[in-house]
Every structure is written in C-alpha cells, then in structure tokens.
Amino acid sequence: MPNFFLCHNPLGKMPPGRVAYIYHADSPRIFVSVIEIEFGKPLSDLNFKGCNILFGYNPADGSRRLFLMIVMQGGARDIDTTISTLQEAAGWFCSCLNKEDVARLGKAGTWTLMAPYDKIKAPNLVVMHLEATDQFLLSYGNGTFLAQGLDHFYKVIDLLYKDNQGRAVGDGHVTSIRTTYT
C-alpha cells in the first residue's frame, strides 16, 4: 500500500483553486499540491515548473472534476519515477474522494488520467482544451503552460517539440472540456 498522507492545516486557508496537499513518505519523497480546475471559468497563473499530471474524477452523481497535481518539493532524478509516483498519488486521492461519495451518494465514482497528446513523440505531453474560455492547458511532465487560443497553442507545441529536422509532433489527442459535462 502506498504511503501517502493528506496534509491539512485547520487554521490555515488554502490558496484559490488548491484543494489538497499530499505527502509521500517513501522514496521518492514528494510534497504535492492538488489544484482543481474550474473549466467554466478563465484560468490564470497556471504556468509552473516541476513534475505534474492532469487527471479527472467522475463522482457517482454524473458530474466531472478535473485536477492538476504538481510536485512542490522533492522527487526522483528520473522524471518517469516521479510521474509514476504522481499517478499513484492521484489514484490514492481519488480513493479518498470515493469514500466521501459512498457516504454521500451511496456509490463510488471513477477516475482517469488524461490521455497523452502523442504517445510516441511526446509521451509526457497532455493537452486539455477548455472550450468555454478557448484556453489550452499543457502538462509536459516538467511543467505546465497555459496557451490562449489555437494559434498560441500550436506555437508552443512547435517550440517544445520540434525534432532536429524542424518537424513538430503534429496533431495529437486533445481532451476537450465543455462547460457542462455529459
């Protein structure tokens, strides 16, 4: 069983959007921040350096919640090891949400990691398009970047993922998020 701890200061107030802090005591030791993405509102200030993942949680009531998990401190030298630990932490966090759902709704929800943009050429790149605001949230393993509109999105993709012949990864999988989830 993974050794994760939910950290909460009952006297403190979390910054806007932050819903949890999680500590992993085993190797690699990490301290992460969990940010809930409100996909009907414009995002701002989501450009971070550091390992991260995007994941979704579907409560039993049929709604959808989206999260960004960012390493605040610690991690392994190998990015894949840290991302694997983040994926475990996301599953553990969603199991905590499930316990609340079972108590509230009588059944558990489900969770999923966002699909990579291109499994071969850019395996750690995940792109989420927030249709209500026409923003693209890019999670590229070592950081996140918020692009405003399609043109800006393709410029960022070209900068991050051009190969030595000048070719970018091209079109890949983008998870589109509508204001209302069905």
What mean pLDDT is predicted for residues 15-36?
89
**57 in Cβ contact with 91 (< 8 Å):** no
User: Is residue 113 pLDDT above 70, yes or no?
Assistant: yes
User: Is residue 78 pLDDT above 80, yes or no?
Assistant: yes
Structural domain boundaries enclosing 84: 4-177
| Structural domains of the chain, count | 1
In a domain, 11, yes or no: yes
In a domain, 182, yes or no: no
pLDDT band at 182 (very low <50, low <70, confident <90, very high): very low
In a domain, 83, yes or no: yes
pLDDT computed for residue 79 by the predictor? 86
Q: 165 or 63, which is more confident?
A: 63
User: Is residue 180 pLDDT above 60, yes or no?
Assistant: no
Q: Is 46 left (phi over 0), alpha (psi -120 to 50) or beta?
A: alpha
| pTM reported for the whole predicted model | 0.85
Q: 178 or 160, which is more confident?
A: 160
In a domain, 52, yes or no: yes
Q: What CA–CA distances, in Å, run from 31 to 4, 107, 122?
A: 10, 30, 26
